Amino acid sequence: MCGIVGYVGPQPALEVVVDGLKRLEYRGYDSAGVAVLADGRMDTEKRAGKLANLKAALAETPRSADGIGIGHTRWATHGAPTDVNAHPHVDNDNRVAVIHNGIIENFASLRLELEERGCKFTSETDTEVAAHLLGEELKRQGEDLAAAMRAVCRRLEGAFTLVAMYAGDPDLVVAARRNSPLVVGRGDGENFLASDVAAFIAHTRDAVELGQDQVVELRRDSVAVTDYDGNPAPVREYHVDWDASAAEKGGYDYFMLKEIVEQPQAVADTLLGRVGVDGTLTLDEMRLAPSELRDIEKIVIIACGTSYHAGLIAKYAIEHWCRIPCEVEVASEFRYRDPILNRQTMVIAISQSGESMDTLMAVRYAREQRARVLAICNVNGSTIPRESDGVLYTHAGPEVGVAATKTFLTQLVACYLVGLYLAQMRNLKFGDEINAVIEQLANMPQQVEKVLGTVAPVRELARSLADSETVLFLGRHVGYPVALEGALKLKELAYMHAEAFAAGELKHGPIALIEDGLPVVVVVPSREGRGVLHDKIVSNIQEIRARGARTIVIAEEGDETVRPFADELIGIPAVPTLLQPVVATVPLQVFACELALAKGNDVDQPRNLAKSVTVE
């Protein structure tokens, strides 16, 4: 969603802030703006569209700035993406500038109240309400911006991060958070604020995790954190284990291309250090005792988008290894159907960012029902892991492309590890059995590397389908979620109609869609591991090919039984059945990326999408 940057220090603030916004472009946005202090005067510039528009406007009017500034990339919620609605917003006296991520749910009543007091609004946004409230509170609080922020936050409802600066104090940035991401970067004589550490990683790798309902005062040499009542609040400091080069394109035209290639290393990093010296598995942070894990009678996985597909695959592994009933729920629907949860339920929340609002609210609902919660996440210090009973971090590193690639594969690996961990804690698998699967997982980076070395024909195939209007996907067993992920990638990147079906459902309706030349991608199960399903899906391929479909078949290398029925055959390494999604997904990522590029689309920043969805 929206990207936030704040800076106090000796460097030219405008350069630091704009550079930080550039590093946050991957989050998705439709306008951008900055505010700096120049000789004690508030100076703002904002433009709809890409960051290049803002840069051009800044270049037209060179300005000197003090070492303090804030910047924002906006993803519109209240009000169209226009220059006027872009952030920052200022109060009527132009003393306070505010940027905001999230939604202020009671903004309408607050705006009416302010207008009745003579306040003049220039935008349609909920954010401007906060700017005017801060302007008023400053006068009441003796020009104390932090006290004013605390007073304003006590009046706001919803999910938000607010960052403000005040013309009367050129060495202070104040921010507050509730249900929305915000992190502090500690430097030497300078400090940073951002919605993601990527914004300041070129300057410092030392970060401070802010808790719920906290206000932070940022000065050059100090960081002070309080709750909304002004009481000192505890914080957790941590060190970011990747550097600025990890967020650069590294010679690739697009981040997505780079991130697809980085997948073998990301999978290897996620597996690193998971097996203790005694052969037992360990997670990053587990605050549940083995006895509590043995009491679990049901598992519910909650996630959105690509993470939901990882959850569907996890269901097969967990039920197979742990013999526990496992449900998979779309997080945005979960709490609205009155699900049955209790202390014997474990909820596994999968979120790449750890800030997905739908998933976060589902986690909170689960905890209210006394369920145990385990998080799978890629961002250290994010909200969902902090509010869970345990966490397994995927070590994919920064993923800049909006469409998930390496975070998906590492989520799969994390799900396998969770399944094995639970089997271990419940005494359902012996050490040698777990080690056998771990060895298979340890071989997956090499297998993914092998797939990446053979995708040139996939790229050529994708380019040949650039004029197609529809692509269908079929799969069985763990291949069905892979098919769903393949269809989602085409929707996200190529803006095409794409649907996925469980192959066995063809005869119950979807086969009516088959017509001459229609591309159909089929993910074929292992012949050795799932022989019955393999034979059934080969029959499905024959059925659709007889009706004119162009069959694109993903199957294990050496599986000659499918060759006669495949117009295009994409070979993948033979791996254990439950692990096949790790290798079968990669050609579909390449396929969607190349097809989108053939259409002239921006694969890093697809239209209408954001990397982290921090509003419901």
State pLDDT tens for residues 562-581: 999 999 999 999 999 999 99
CATH number of the 452-598 domain: 3.40.50.10490
How far is residue 52's CA from residue 558's CA, in Å, rounded to a whole number? 50
Q: For position 379, what pLDDT does the model report?
A: 82
| pLDDT mean over 11-29 | 88
Q: For position 615, what pLDDT does the model report?
A: 62
Neighbours of 485 (CB within 10 A): 28
Q: Interior CA angle at 542 toward 538 and 545, to 5°?
A: 135
**Percent of the chain residues topping a pLDDT of 70:** 97
Q: For position 380, what pLDDT does the model report?
A: 77
Q: Is the pLDDT of residue 155 over 90?
A: yes
Q: Is the pLDDT of residue 154 over 80?
A: yes
How far is residue 211's CA from residue 148's CA, in Å, rounded to a whole number? 19
Residue 191 makes CB contacts below 8 A (sequence gap 6+) with 7, 8, 9, 184, 185, 218, 219, 220, 222, 223
Question: Looking at domain 3-247, which CATH architecture does it have?
Answer: 4-Layer Sandwich (3.60)
DSSP notation for 229-259: TS-B---EEEE-SS-GGGGS-TT-SSHHHHH
CATH topology for 255-442 is Rossmann fold (3.40.50)
Q: For position 212, what pLDDT does the model report?
A: 87
Q: Interior CA angle at 331 toward 325 and 335, to 5°?
A: 85
Helix, coil or strand: residue 421: helix
Q: Is the pLDDT of residue 103 over 90?
A: no
Lowest mean pLDDT of 17-26, 121-130, 332-341, 521-530, name the range: 521-530
| pLDDT mean over 26-41 | 86
Residues of the chain with CATH 3.40.50.10490: 255-442, 452-598
Place of tokens 């292992």: 526
Q: Are 223 and 203 in contact (CB under 8 A)?
A: no
Residues with catalytic function: 2, 611
User: What's the pTM value of the predicted model, to 2 decimals?
Assistant: 0.77
Give the residue from 414, 22, 459, 7 showing the smallest Cα distance to 220: 7
Neighbours of 464 (CB within 10 A): 14
Residue 117 makes CB contacts below 8 A (sequence gap 6+) with 136
Q: Tell me the pLDDT band of 166, cut-offs 50, 70 and 90.
A: very high
Give the residue from 4, 14, 134, 32 showing the smallest Cα distance to 68: 14
Q: Tell me the pLDDT band of 383, cut-offs 50, 70 and 90.
A: confident
Q: What is the pLDDT of residues 586-613, one digit of tens each?
A: 999 999 999 999 999 999 989 988 776 7
- Measured in whole angstroms, the distance separating CA 230 from the mean position of its chain's CA atoms is 32
Q: What is the mean pLDDT of the chain?
A: 92
How far is residue 262's CA from residue 335's CA, in Å, rounded to a whole number? 36
In this structure, is the dihedral angle defined by the CA atoms of residues 335, 337, 341 and 345, taken in order, positive or negative?
negative
Sheet containing 550-556: order of strands: 497-502, 470-475, 519-523, 550-556, 568-572
